[in-house]
Structure 1
């Protein structure tokens, strides 16, 4: 047998092995894959999303022009935009390799999210999750028979993360959304110190104890009320150090009255725990909220800081 024949035989064997591995890895027959099997082309038709896992049960339901979380809570509207974007573009890249399909299926069953999306009378259910490093995104059918590696063209981030958010992370984080045109009254009652009271009178604001107001300082202060978001909601029992703060007296009591009564706020602020970066707030429903120290301390002004020099 000549050298050329030998090399030709070796090459043929290598090609055969490569083809077998290609098929065995689930990438063979790619033309048979429905790459849009999880796509929802008309995301405007979505009227509910149900996310189930071993540790949480989340319902997002459309009610008119708004979305409600678990019947009573407002959601972060940006999360619905992200969800719609993902579901309109998610693409099947290939089936998961036969070598680790059983392992991935078991992982999705134990730690994945079961997602049911309602579009009128139609229901679409699938499982979603990823590897431990969050570098691969998996979608599987409702029966967990077929598992796929999925992605979005041009987007290289972890797709299932949107469905792994906690209930608190789905919630609307907007704490204040007022401005100097809509605020009617703003007061801070301090446990120690001089209280701050701003009130709209006639054509402008008055500040108790301040005769000459620094208008620029006041406008800058009120600008901070637009799209002011909290950092997070805390669930009772999860952070005992913050739970214990609720048994202490607050350092300040905030009250905001807006033309739009839906924007009214009543909040208590508690002393910051040494070494922590957040202040604890509680609202009228005694919910626990945290806001970073920089923005909290920017709120806690005194009347003297608005005096014109």
Structure 2
């Protein structure tokens, strides 16, 4: 047998061996990481309750979706992220008789029935998370999750609120008014298309693009009274503009009062017709308040 033939046979044997190791699941010999929660339990989550300092977050599954603190619709995307994080939480080392500080407590309800309670804590540098139950602590982490696991429990109640404030487009909006100092404008549907300040636009796509800004229009964040005193003080001033939208999906017009932003702030305080406060990105506000034909 020639030397080259021996090489080819050796290479073939190595290739077969590598393929066998790959498809036979070499990783199965590696101890499988222990998950903190069972996947089948998480499929039936019906409620979360987080308590941190003075804040309480209760997320409850209802017939109309997730509700926050029995008052506001919750952001479904955030809740799904929370569930995804919990599904992937893996257990590291165990610390018997935890004596460190505790950040807060959590309760997870399954199928509107059984409940699991634990406390959560971090190390001094806030790079590790510990779940504490019955006095023992387990270090937990999510592979590939760059943030500390405890951070998701520390979100302010406002951050769990649904941020969608209107969902309209050129196909559903019937009339839009912007009132601001020395530069009001109106867009109104008339028979077959829109008039801008009573005139037919020369470029209809400009109007379509402007109105489509309000598809799935979300606030950057909802803001409750008292959370940011500097924003509360803005309510004592005159708004810089008022936006009004009539949409065929809503019985009454949607209104939004927008206030001047504070110095060095890249966002504006806005208040809708129901008194809900929110912040909007300053660049977004500029686009909304700019005349579409200018």
- Per the TM superposition, whether the score is higher than 0.5 is yes
- Residue equivalent to 1:128: 120
- Deviations for 1:150-171, whole angstroms, at most 9, x for unmatched residues? 1223434311222111110111
Structure 2 residue 231 is the aligned partner of structure 1 residue 242 = yes
SS across alignment from 1:163:
helix
> What is the 5 A alignment of 1:22-171?
35-96=34-95, 102-104=98-100, 107-108=101-102, 111-141=103-133, 143=134, 145-171=135-161
Q: CA deviation at 1:262?
A: 8.2
- Residue equivalent to 1:285: 274
Ranges in structure 1 where 5+ consecutive residues have no aligned partner: 1-30
SS across alignment from 1:272:
coil
Q: CA deviation at 1:130?
A: 1.8
Q: CA deviation at 1:292?
A: 1.6
More off after superposition, 79-88 vs 261-270: 261-270
Q: Alpha carbons of 1:275 and 1:87: their partners in 2 closer, same or farther (altered >3 Å)?
A: closer
Query: Contact 1:42 / 1:88 at 8 angstroms: preserved in 2?
Result: no
- State which of 190, 199, 202 in structure 2 corresponds to 1:201: 190
Structural RMSD (CA):
2.5
CA distance in 2, matches of 1:166, 1:63: 21
More off after superposition, 235-244 vs 269-278: 235-244
SS across alignment from 1:41:
helix
SS across alignment from 1:92:
strand
- Residue equivalent to 1:13: none
- Residue equivalent to 1:7: none
SS across alignment from 1:35:
coil
CA distance in 2, matches of 1:134, 1:213: 58
- Residue equivalent to 2:4: none
TM-score normalized with structure 2 length: 0.80
Q: Alpha carbons of 1:91 and 1:212: their partners in 2 closer, same or farther (altered >3 Å)?
A: closer
- Residue equivalent to 1:6: none
Ranges in structure 2 where 5+ consecutive residues have no aligned partner: 1-30
Query: Contact 2:48 / 2:106 at 8 angstroms: preserved in 1?
Result: no
Query: Contact 1:196 / 1:301 at 8 angstroms: preserved in 2?
Result: no
Q: Alpha carbons of 1:153 and 1:251: their partners in 2 closer, same or farther (altered >3 Å)?
A: closer
CA distance in 2, matches of 1:287, 1:124: 34
CA distance in 2, matches of 1:157, 1:262: 43
Aligned pairs, number? 264
